[in-house]
Amino acid sequence: MKSTTLHGKRIIITGGARGIGLATATAVAQHGATVVIGDLDQQAIDAAVVRIGSAATGFTVDVADRESFAAFYSTATESGPIDVLINNAGIMPIGSFLDQRPDTYLKAINVNVLGAMNGMHIALPDMIAAGSGHIINVASTAGKTPVPGGLAYCASKSAVVAMTETARVEFADSGVEFTCVMPHFTNTELIAGTTATKLVPVVEPSDVADAIAAAIDRPRADVFVPKAIGVILRTQPLMGRTVRDEVSRRLGAYNAFLDFDAQARAGYAERIAK
């Protein structure tokens, strides 16, 4: 059943040509929304627009570059104001922190943190002036718990969690909604070569997309995918570090980003290094 709340909304999705972004663009378009995809890869954008159909348009953007994001936003809003901005673009370098090059962890911070911050800073004035709007930042469960081998990624996603919550409080009277989406292991190329944690299933991009669509329909501050992971992460602080670390080790969470198949991950690592 199509959501009447999403019907007619104009939605920007960064990182919208692949993975969670593409699944979300497809889902909201099916609910009657108009979607503007932003991505670095024009070829992937073109393929995504063809796949989604007439409800979608797409343009290149480097979210880490404020001027590029501003130009993208200006183009996206030529046909009318945006109702929802989904800051989804992100990269996930993994492996021992001391084995990573500085430009690798800097890129993770620039794309994951500055990308979302740029989007918020550019879109918020129009939303506040209109007294309505919705900003959705896609973080990760890695922003709520330590994952060895993901130091830069965890740091960046923790920042996204914090900035979303802080914006929610700072602009509480503006009429703008803020949502932080925190997926667990999702079946996209970001987890290529890794082994998922035990007991908690790998989710599909469509699962995250459905959760995002539901959050647009009925705004919530936090969205965990799957929902069960939210219960786990909320109770972790009550365990104490010793118990938490032991449980995480037994679930395989502390090896997932250290012991991985580098060959299976080579294609993704090469793409995000460009």
- Residue 269: phi and psi, rounded to 5, are -60, -40
Write down the pTM of the prediction: 0.96
Q: Considering the domain boundaries, does residue 87 fall inside one?
A: yes
Q: Considering the domain boundaries, does residue 1 fall inside one?
A: no
pLDDT of residue 229: 92
| CATH number of the domain to which 217 belongs | 3.40.50.720
Q: How many C-beta neighbours within 10 Å does residue 42 have?
A: 12
| Residue range(s) defining the domain that contains residue 150 | 10-273
Q: Considering the domain boundaries, does residue 133 fall inside one?
A: yes
**Helix spans in 131-225 (H):** 151-170, 205-217
CA distances from 51 to 58, 99, 132 (A): 12, 39, 30
pLDDT of residue 2: 63
**Going residue by residue through the chain (274 aa), what tens digit of pLDDT does each one get?**
566 789 999 999 999 999 999 999 999 999 999 999 999 999 999 999 999 999 999 999 999 999 999 999 999 999 999 999 999 999 999 999 999 999 999 999 999 999 999 999 999 999 999 999 999 999 999 999 999 999 999 999 999 999 999 999 999 999 999 999 999 999 999 999 999 888 888 999 999 999 999 999 999 999 999 999 999 899 988 899 999 999 899 989 999 999 999 999 999 999 999 8
Q: Considering the domain boundaries, does residue 2 fall inside one?
A: no
Annotation says 105 is catalytic: no
- Please state, in angstroms and rounded to a whole number, the distance separating the CA atoms of residues 190 and 181: 16
Q: Considering the domain boundaries, does residue 64 fall inside one?
A: yes
- How many domains does one find in the chain? 1
**Is 165 within 8 Å of 221 (Cβ atoms)?**
yes
Q: Considering the domain boundaries, does residue 5 fall inside one?
A: no
Active-site entry in 73, 153, 254, 268: 153
- Please state, in angstroms and rounded to a whole number, the distance separating the CA atoms of residues 147 and 88: 21
